[in-house]
């Protein structure tokens, strides 16, 4: 069987490969601890599950949903954006459900890129920022995240011919994988750049509710002018422990939303309405206390991991947001993947090599905090005990 040449252009999805390796070890009776994928280990909040159960029993949710979404969901998203971010959205034209952010980000490439077009993609970044453009037969131009600038791209360094071909820009703060939060003034720079080059700015907002030390993350849409040139992909997956539900929304520019809607109505049949109603429940004000408790839990795990790594001589910075620790690999390894494979072989702990998120992630590894405390403690102790390898 011959697969499409488009599919040959992209590597296998990082975590698909990891899952295979883990399964192999587990089959061999090895006790593997995975700190690879970011997938909350705590269940969805009980009130959200209850709302989902009730909605599941309601026959009005059993038929095809409309791609446009139920008004309960769109209104809940708009109310949340107003209350939480001070962003006013028209729930009729500026909000649409998505079957997870991943689907949405991929489909934006399908909706906005032609063969000669390209997407500007944060590097390191969420793999779909580059796989999406390639799968639709277009291209991605990597924007290196510059540590000295606070892990944001240097927009002035984007070549003029690249800016001319660019139709989309993908960026994300609080940032996966680096844990960085958006520095003051960066979103304003994006608005100016997108306006100048007629680019749709796509802010991937997966972690605005998962922050620490009193830091409160803004929405990109709170930036003056952002709604004229941009959208935000808002996911309930991480902040509300809802990765399995596939519940997200795209919000912002009405024209971009209409375009995405046109595409979606030809590709999928909408987000299950019971999930939309559960999502609407998750966005009610009283759930903020549950979200805060999750932040406390992750902050404790973050400290546990950072302390152990620092004690083992790793130059690690505690992030203000996300569920990840991003740290440089120790000396003596040719690449991050070599280090991560060594860690897996020696300690049966899975960590992600930075290079899997793009060439600028090389030299770093990522640890996800979505593992129960006792396993996380055990895993970090194993890594710390490994020390530095002397023979490269
Ligand atoms: C987890 C993650 C997503 C995926 O969100 P879903 O709504 O579960 O598809 C998107 N972007 C980033 C940066 C993520 O870390």
Q: State residue 388's pLDDT score.
A: 60
pLDDT digits (tens, 9 = 90+) for 253-308: 999 999 999 999 999 999 999 999 999 999 999 999 999 999 999 999 999 999 99
| Those residues with Cβ within 8 angstroms of residue 342's Cβ, 6 or more apart along the chain or in another chain | 333, 386, 389
Rounded to whole angstroms, how far apart are CA atoms 279 and 62?
16
What's the gap in Å between 226 CA and the centre of ligand 1? 21
- CA–CA distance, 147 with 158 (Å, rounded to integer): 17
Ligand 1, residue 248: give the atom nearest the CA. 7
Least Cα distance to 323 among 234, 217, 212 occurs for: 212
* Spatial distance between the Cα atoms of 220 and 175, rounded to a whole number of angstroms: 13
- The answer, yes or no, to whether any atom of ligand 1 lies below 6 A from the CB of 178, is no
Three-class secondary structure of residue 20 per DSSP: helix
Q: For residue 381, how far is its CA from the centre of ligand 1 (angstroms)?
A: 29
**Minimal-distance CA residue to ligand 1 atom 14:** 206
What are the boundaries of each domain within the chain? 5-43+289-386, 46-286
- Tell how far the Cα of 186 is from the centroid of ligand 1, in angstroms: 21
Q: What is the pLDDT of residue 313?
A: 87
Summarised one tens digit per residue, pLDDT across range 163-197 is 999 999 999 999 999 999 999 999 999 999 999 99
Q: In the CATH scheme, what is the code of domain 5-43+289-386?
A: 3.90.1150.10
Angle, to 10 degrees, between the axis of helix 373-386 and the axis of helix 288-311?
Answer: 20
Whole-number pLDDT of residue 387: 66
**Phi/psi of residue 240, nearest 5 degrees:** -115, 15
Please give the pLDDT value at position 124: 98
Atom of ligand 1 nearest to the CA of 172: 13
Return the best residue to mutate from 231, 238, 326, 368 for the ligand 1 pocket (most ligand atoms within 8 A of CB).
Answer: 238
Residue-wise pLDDT for 159-168, tens only, equals 999 999 999 9
Residue 23 neighbours by CB distance under 10 Å? 11
Mean pLDDT in each 10-residue stretch from start to end of the chain (392 residues)? 87 71 88 93 98 98 94 98 98 98 98 95 97 95 96 97 98 98 98 98 98 98 98 98 98 98 96 98 98 98 95 92 96 91 92 94 97 95 78 46
CATH T-level fold of 46-286? 3.40.640
| Residue 13 confidence (pLDDT) | 65
DSSP string of 172-191? -SSPTTT---PPTTHHHHHH
Q: How far is the CA of 387 from the centre of ligand 1 (A)?
A: 33
Pocket test for ligand 1, best of 127, 130, 178, 237 (most atoms within 8 A of CB): 237
Distance between Cα 246 and ligand 1 center (Å): 10
pLDDT of residue 22: 84
Q: By C-alpha distance, which of 76, 262, 53, 77 is closest to 61?
A: 53
Q: Identify the H or E element spanning 98.
A: strand 95-98
């Amino acid at each position: 069987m011959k697969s499409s040449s488009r599919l040959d252009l992209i590597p296998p999805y990082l975590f698909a490969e990891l899952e295979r390796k883990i399964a192999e070890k587990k089959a061999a009776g090895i006790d593997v601890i995975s700190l690879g994928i970011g997938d909350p280990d705590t269940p969805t909040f009980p009130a959200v599950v209850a709302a989902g159960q009730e909605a599941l029993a309601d026959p009005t949710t059993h038929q095809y949903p409309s791609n446009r979404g139920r008004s309960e969901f769109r209104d809940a998203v708009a109310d949340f954006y107003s209350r939480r971010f001070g962003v006013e959205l028209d729930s009729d034209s500026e909000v649409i459900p998505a079957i997870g952010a991943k689907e949405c980000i991929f489909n934006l490439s399908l909706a906005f890129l032609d063969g000669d077009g390209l997407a500007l993609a944060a590097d390191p970044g969420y793999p779909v920022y580059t796989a999406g453009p390639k799968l639709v037969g277009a291209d991605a131009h990597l924007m290196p995240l510059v540590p000295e600038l606070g892990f944001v791209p240097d927009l002035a360094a984007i070549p003029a011919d690249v800016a001319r071909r660019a139709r989309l820009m993908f960026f994300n703060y609080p940032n996966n994988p680096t844990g960085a939060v958006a520095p003051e003034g960066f979103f304003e720079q994006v608005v100016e750049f997108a306006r100048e080059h007629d680019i749709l700015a796509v802010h991937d907002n997966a972690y605005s509710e998962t922050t620490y030390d009193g830091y409160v993350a803004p929405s990109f849409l709170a930036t003056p002018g952002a709604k004229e040139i941009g959208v935000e992909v808002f996911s309930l997956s991480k902040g509300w422990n809802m990765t399995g539900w596939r519940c997200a929304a795209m919000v912002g520019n009405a024209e971009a939303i209409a375009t995405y809607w046109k595409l979606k109505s030809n590709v999928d049949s909408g987000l299950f309405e019971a999930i939309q109603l559960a999502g609407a429940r998750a966005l009610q004000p009283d759930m903020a206390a549950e979200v805060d408790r999750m932040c406390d839990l992750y902050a404790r795990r973050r400290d546990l991991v950072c302390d152990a790594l620092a004690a083992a001589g790793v130059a690690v910075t505690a992030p203000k947001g996300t569920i990840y620790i991003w740290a440089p690999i120790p000396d003596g390894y040719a690449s991050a993947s070599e280090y991560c494979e060594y860690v897996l072989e020696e300690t049966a702990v899975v960590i992600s090599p930075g290079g899997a998120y793009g060439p600028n992630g090389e030299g770093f590894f990522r640890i996800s905090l979505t593992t129960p405390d006792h396993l996380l403690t055990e895993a970090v102790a194993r890594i710390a005990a490994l020390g530095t390898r002397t023979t490269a």
